[in-house]
Amino acid sequence: MTPRRKRMLAVAAIVIGVGAATAVALQAMNENIMYFYSPSQISAGEAPAGRAFRLGGLVSAGSVERTPGSIEVRFTVTDNARSIPVSYSGLLPDLFREGQGVIAHGRLDDAGVFKADEVLAKHDENYMPPEVAESLHTPTAAGGAS
Amino acid sequence: MIPELGHFALILALLLSGAQAFFGLAGASRGNVAWMRAAVPAVTGQFVFLMLAFGVLAWSFVQFDFSVRYVAMTSNSLLPLFYRISAVWGGHEGSLLLWGLMLATWSVGVAAFSRSMPLPFKSRVLGVLGLVSIGFLMFMLFTSSPFERLVPAAPEGNDLNPLLQDVALALHPPMLYLGYVGFSVAFAFACATLIEGRTDVSWARWARPWTLAAWLFLTVGITLGSWWAYYELGWGGYWFWDPVENASFMPWLAGAALIHSLAVTEKRGLFKTWTLLLAVVAFSLSLLGTFLVRSGVLVSVHAFATDPARGLFILGFLIAVIGGALTLYAWRAPLLKSEAAFELASREAFLLFNNALLVAATGLILLGTLYPLFMDALNLGKISVGPPYFGVAFLIPMVPLLMLLGVGMHAAWKRTRLGHLKRPLLALAIVSAVAGLLVAAFVYGEVHYMGAVGFAVAFWVLSSTLLGVWENRGQLGKAPAGFWGMTVAHFGVGLFALGVTGVESYRIERDISLGVGETTTLQGYQFEFMGTRDVRGPNYRAIEGEVVITRDGKLVKTLHPQKRFYASGGNPMTEAGIHARLNRDLFVALGEDLGAGKWSMRVQYKPLIRYIWLGALLMALGGLVSMTDRRYRARAPATVPATGGLKGRVA
């Protein structure tokens, strides 16, 4: 092989390698993008069925329920207009509290319950996830869990 | 009165940075020696005044001066002295002051240790650093002065975020910033080279120790942050692919690429323009990181404040610096051509692959980090890119990188010649592959696909690095520091790969509910919950659990995970109980009282996790060792033969 052909070969190898890598990365990206939905959007049927997404809102006051001694926990997440029931099995973050902003990763089951596999309440008590802050409705007489 | 002194010192520092930029750049372009010389005292003065400002702020913290808004925001009267000092950089304003001080420190360093450089070049470097400094000091003075007063003074402070009350995290920001800001030196060297249109490559030799220094501090900073997150956040994770973590990791990757391409440029005069571009990119990514963290574009634990004015200022600054440098590059770079040729399997070629792969990793991480911001800005929905994406995006370039690393270390400059090493390398490759498979199958009992590949790659890098030492066994005493630095750093890379493989493929994590006397078993370790009690610390009270770990009936360790409640109020904090050994960590975090005498608990088995931090620290140590290489201290440019006597040459 002439040096020129060698170089062409090297360039071709790099192009193919980069191309393949990009394809795999984009595929991974596509699979791991999670959209954010508020309780109102979910109630309106906008959330995808069978695909993981993020749900955000406030933990409704008085909604946290546990079977004593069990790690299973149920609560509802509200945007002050609609609420979505959530079930989760695992340790809740330190900042998880009724009335506080929360983001959960998971998917909807057939009964309309959001099965969370991760619950996040960020590390600062004054912090409100920006998506949650934007999606909140002003409390009204009807949905007034403030 | 004292805080105003600090403010005044900041203003003086800004004026001096102006003088530094002007005398440095104008002096060099007009060939005015007196002006060029004047840049040095301007740098020194700026450093002194920033030290003064920093000292004043620290003094305000030590004295509990709650009339200073920033002090009142980030400390209180119960905070121990150590954390009052670290609280100086525990918030937005103070961490910017630290940034500025670091920049001045690096500038003073360049001014002091640059005897081998010609005066005009040195003053251009200082001039560019001065321009960067002007930007930062203006940002601080106009949008975020730490010396702003509170009228009337607050009777009591707000407290430092309890998460930040930790030794590793107290040291994390200074190290990280030393790294971030340190890339400004390589950046300034690149700009000065472009301004002068220098066609020789002496700048690469001058820039190498500075780049190594910046990169090693960044390595230590990131490692501390990761270690802290592991034991303090209570999740047992060491890396979350959080946008803010990515912001520090991208300059690290670009910096690693820069270190390697500087070697090629210095030794062989190749990749000249590419290296310059990388130097610009590494610093730009540092600035981008600062922008992402400080502007509140990404809201997370790292974003202390969200203020649109600040965001706009940093964005403007970012555009000015990156735009300016890239314009300069577009204008000047075509002047610098590389003339030498090299073959496909020469050391140059391997380093080219190294750069391509490291930059690819940087690009993929950048894509995942910025994509949600673009989607949001274009109103296409609020999305987040999950950690699995980053895992894949990082592994795609890293696995081939580590495979090539094992060969590239032994390749010769210029020619394809592995010589008598061909056979030993082939043997090592086969042995590593088999060993990887065996360890996965018999030590961890499951041939997890990535586990076997990961172990094989790690063994390959480790053994190939050792082969380099073995090859030079007769002349180790004469080996230059650069050789040892490379060896130590690459060994660190191997250990790091080992650790990541162990944790990612074979960790066991369980969230469970345990009553007193109940047990759970992970990987042969039995965890028995003995109950809880109340304990008190200097500024918190805590509920402490007791968990006894046994294996085959023998006591391994009693752990005491805590749930802390700080006196200043706010959120409870999880203090995990960890039993660390080189082959595994056992991790227990206390959840909450579930009623009926039960507690929720997070119990984890983390094989080899210590090697992640150990490997990273070895990489940093390798950088430190390389810095001490004699040729960086030479007064006159010493000519180093491209192929020295040492086998498995130093890059």
Reduced to 3 states (helix: H, G, I; strand: E, B; else coil), residue B579 is strand
Could you say which of A33, A92, A122 has the minimum Cβ distance to residue B301? Answer: A122
| Three state DSSP letters for B474-533 | HHHHHCCHHHHHHHHHHHHHHHHHHHHHHHHHHCEEEEEEEECCCEEEECCEEEEEEEEE
Question: Could you tell me how many CB contacts below 8 A there are between chain A and chain B?
Answer: 114
Per-residue model confidence (pLDDT) at position B325: 94
Same domain, A18 and A90: no
Closest chain B residue to A31 measured between Cα atoms?
Answer: B389
* Chain B residues lying within 8 Å of A3, measured CB to CB: 343
Q: Is B225 on the interface with A (CB under 8 A)?
A: no
Closest CA to B369 of B235, B222, B248, B227: B248
**Nearest partner of B505 among B601, B459, B436, judged by Cα:** B436
- Please indicate whether, in this complex, the C-beta atoms of A94 and B571 are within 8 angstroms of each other: yes
The answer to whether B297 and B291 are in contact (CB under 8 A) is: yes
Q: Which residue of A has its CA nearest to B591?
A: A91
Closest CA to B341 of B448, B402, B287, B416: B416
Cβ contacts (< 8 Å) between B301 and chain A: which residues?
122-124
Distance (Å) from the alpha carbon of B156 to chain A's nearest alpha carbon: 19
Judgement on whether residues A51 and A122 belong to the same structural domain of the protein = yes
Whether B574 and chain A come into contact, CB under 8 Å, resolves to: yes
Contact B414, B381 (CB under 8 A): no
pLDDT at B121: 95
Of the candidates B389, B597, B601, which has its C-beta nearest A29's C-beta?
Answer: B389
Contact A24 B392 (CB under 8 A): yes
* Residue pLDDT, tens place only, B85-137: 999 998 888 989 999 999 999 999 999 988 888 999 999 999 999 999 999 99
Domain residues for A45?
A: 36-135
What average pLDDT does chain B have? 89
Report whether B347 contacts B408 (CB < 8 A). Answer: yes
- Chain A residues with beta carbon closer than 8 angstroms to that of B572: 94
CA angle B509, B514, B516 (to 5 degrees): 140
pLDDT of residue B68: 93
- Residue window 434-473, chain B: list those with CB within 8 Å of chain A: none
Cα distance from B396 to chain A (closest Cα, Å)?
6
Residues of B in contact with A66 (CB under 8 A): 594-595
Pair A90, A110 in one domain: yes
Q: How far away is chain B from the Cα of A143, in angstroms, using its nearest Cα?
A: 24
The total number of structural domains in chain A stands at 2
**Complete DSSP assignment for A35-80:** EEE-HHHHHTT-SPTTS-EEEEEEEPTT--EE-TT-SEEEEEEE-S
pLDDT of amino acid B621: 98
Backbone φ and ψ of B80, nearest 5°: -60, 160
pLDDT along chain A (146 residues), means of 10: 74 83 86 88 87 89 88 92 93 84 89 90 57 64 35
E strand or H helix that includes residue A107: strand A101-108
**Same structural domain for residues A23 and A88?**
no
Residue B646 has which token pair?
A: 């040492």
Residue B421 DSSP class: G
Say yes or no: A69 and A116 in one domain.
yes
Tens-digit pLDDT profile for residues B202-247: 899 999 999 999 999 999 999 999 999 898 887 888 998 988 889 9
Residue B32 has pLDDT above 50, yes or no: yes
* Shortest CA gap B593–chain A (Å): 8
Q: Distance between CA B224 and CA B242 in Å, rounded? A: 16
Nearest to A10 among B344, B381, B387 (CB): B344
pLDDT for B537: 86
Angle (CA) B548 B551 B557, round 5°: 35
Distance to chain A for B34, nearest Cα, Å: 51
Residues A29, A41, single domain; the answer is: no
Residue A141 belongs to a domain:
no
| Other Cβ atoms closer than 10 A to B15 | 15
The minimal CB distance from B512 to the residues A54, A71, A131 is found for: A71
Element (H, E) at B594: strand B584-595
Taking CA–CA distances from A18, the nearest residue in chain B reads: B360
Q: Does B416 touch chain A (CB under 8 A)?
A: no
Question: What residue spans define the domains of chain B?
Answer: 2-330+626-630, 418-506+610-625, 508-607
DSSP 3-state percent helix, strand, coil across chain B (nearest 5): 65, 10, 25
Task: Specify the 3-state DSSP secondary structure of B272.
Answer: helix
Residue A27 in domain: yes
Question: CB A123 to CB B368 under 8 A?
Answer: no
Cβ-based neighbour number of residue B516 at 10 Å: 14
pTM: 0.91
CB A69 to CB B602 under 8 A?
A: no
Share of chain B above pLDDT 90, in %: 64
- B436 Cβ neighbours under 8 A, 6+ residues apart: B452, B453, B454, B455, B456, B457, B458, B459
The C-alpha of B494 sits at a distance from chain A's nearest C-alpha, in angstroms, of 23
Are A96 and A122 members of one domain? yes
Strand A114-120 vs strand A83-89: parallel, antiparallel, or unpaired?
A: parallel
Do A45 and A117 fall within a single domain? yes
Please indicate, yes or no, whether residues A57 and A104 belong to a single structural domain of this protein: yes
Q: At what angle do helices B387-408 and B422-438 cross, to 10 degrees?
A: 150
State the CATH number of the domain containing residue A93: 2.40.50.140
Q: Please tell me which residue, B294 or B508, carries the higher pLDDT value.
A: B508
Q: A43-79 b/e with 16+ CB inside 10 Å = b?
A: beeebeeeebbbbbbbbbeebbebeeeebebebbbbb
Residues of chain A positioned with their CB less than 8 A from the CB of B594: 66, 68-71
Say which of B161, B299, B594 has its CB closest to residue A66. Answer: B594
Predicted local distance difference test score (pLDDT) of residue B651:
53
Tokens of B553: 């009936």
Helix (H) or strand (E) holding A33: strand A33-37
Residue A5 lies in a domain: yes
Nearest CA in chain B to A66: B594
Of the candidate ranges B335-339, B376-380, B636-640, the one whose mean pLDDT is the lowest = B636-640
Q: Can you give the pLDDT at residue B157?
A: 85
Residues A94, B367: C-beta atoms closer than 8 Å: no
A145: in domain: no
Are B389 and A28 inside 8 Å of each other by CB? yes
Is the CB of B513 less than 8 angstroms away from the CB of A25?
no
Distance CA(B461)–CA(B495), nearest Å, equals 9
Q: pLDDT confidence of B309, banded at 50, 70, 90?
A: confident
- Yes or no, beta carbons of B598 and A66 under 8 Å apart: no
Q: Considering only residues 355 to 394 of chain B, which have any Cβ-Cβ distance to chain A shorter than 8 Å?
A: 356, 360, 364, 367-368, 371, 381-389, 392-393
A-chain residue closest to B601, CA distance: A91
Amino acid B34: pLDDT: 95
Identify whether residues A79 and A40 lie together within a single domain: yes
Kind and range of the H or E run holding B102: helix B92-112
Contact A25 B570 (CB under 8 A): no
* B-chain residues near A24 (CB < 8 A): 392, 396
Within this chain, do residues A6 and A28 fall inside the same structural domain, yes or no?
yes
Name the residue type at position B208.
R
| Cα B374-B376-B380 angle, rounded to 5 deg | 95
Q: Is the per-residue pLDDT at B290 higher than 60?
A: yes
| B596: DSSP letter | T
As a whole number of angstroms, the distance between CA A99 and CA A104 comes to 15
Q: Give the DSSP per-residue string, B304-363.
A: ----HHHHHHHHHHHHHHHHHHHHHHHHHGGG--------TTSHHHHHHHHHHHHHHHHH
CA A33 to chain B, closest CA, distance in angstroms equals 5
Helix (H, G, I), strand (E, B) or coil at B556: strand
To test the contact with chain A by mutation, choose from B383, B399, B540, B562 the residue with the greatest count of A C-beta atoms within 10 A, namely B383
The whole-angstrom separation of Cα B148 and Cα B4 is 9
For residue A144, is it within any domain? Answer: no
**Cα-based angle B153, B155, B158 (whole degrees, multiple of 5):** 95
Question: Nearest CA of chain B to the CA of A141: how many Å?
Answer: 29
> Shortest Cα distance from B168 to chain A (angstroms)?
18
First-residue to last-residue Cα distance in chain A:
76
**Residues in chain A whose beta carbon is closer than 8 A to a beta carbon of chain B?**
3, 6-7, 10, 14, 17-18, 21, 24-25, 28-29, 31-36, 54, 66, 68-71, 89-92, 94-95, 105, 122-125, 127, 129-131
Cross-strand bridge partners of residue A65: A74
Distance CA(B345)–CA(A81), nearest Å, equals 65
Q: Which residues of B touch A29 (CB under 8 A)?
A: 367-368, 371, 385, 389, 393
Judge contact between B250 and B289, C-beta under 8 A.
yes
Give me A30's structure tokens: 């596509």
E strand spans, B127-255? none
> What does the pLDDT read at residue B650?
52
The more confidently predicted of residues A3 and B336 is B336
**Do A50 and A4 reside in the same domain of the chain?**
no
With a cut of 80, say whether residue B298 has pLDDT above it: no
The residue of chain B with its CA nearest to that of A89 is B511
- Which residue from B312, B310, B322, B311 is spatially nearest to B282, judged by alpha carbons? B322
Task: Give the number of other Cβ atoms within 10 Å of residue A143's Cβ.
Answer: 18
Architecture of domain B508-607: Sandwich (2.60)
CA A25, B616, B426, B472 dihedral sign is positive
- Best B300, B352, B362, B389 member to test A by mutation, with max A CBs in 10 Å, is B389
Q: Do B360 and A18 touch (CB under 8 A)?
A: yes
Q: How many other C-beta atoms lie within 10 A of the C-beta of residue A112?
A: 10
Report the C-alpha gap between B366 and B261 in whole angstroms.
21
Strand partners, B573: B564
B496 pLDDT exceeds 60? yes
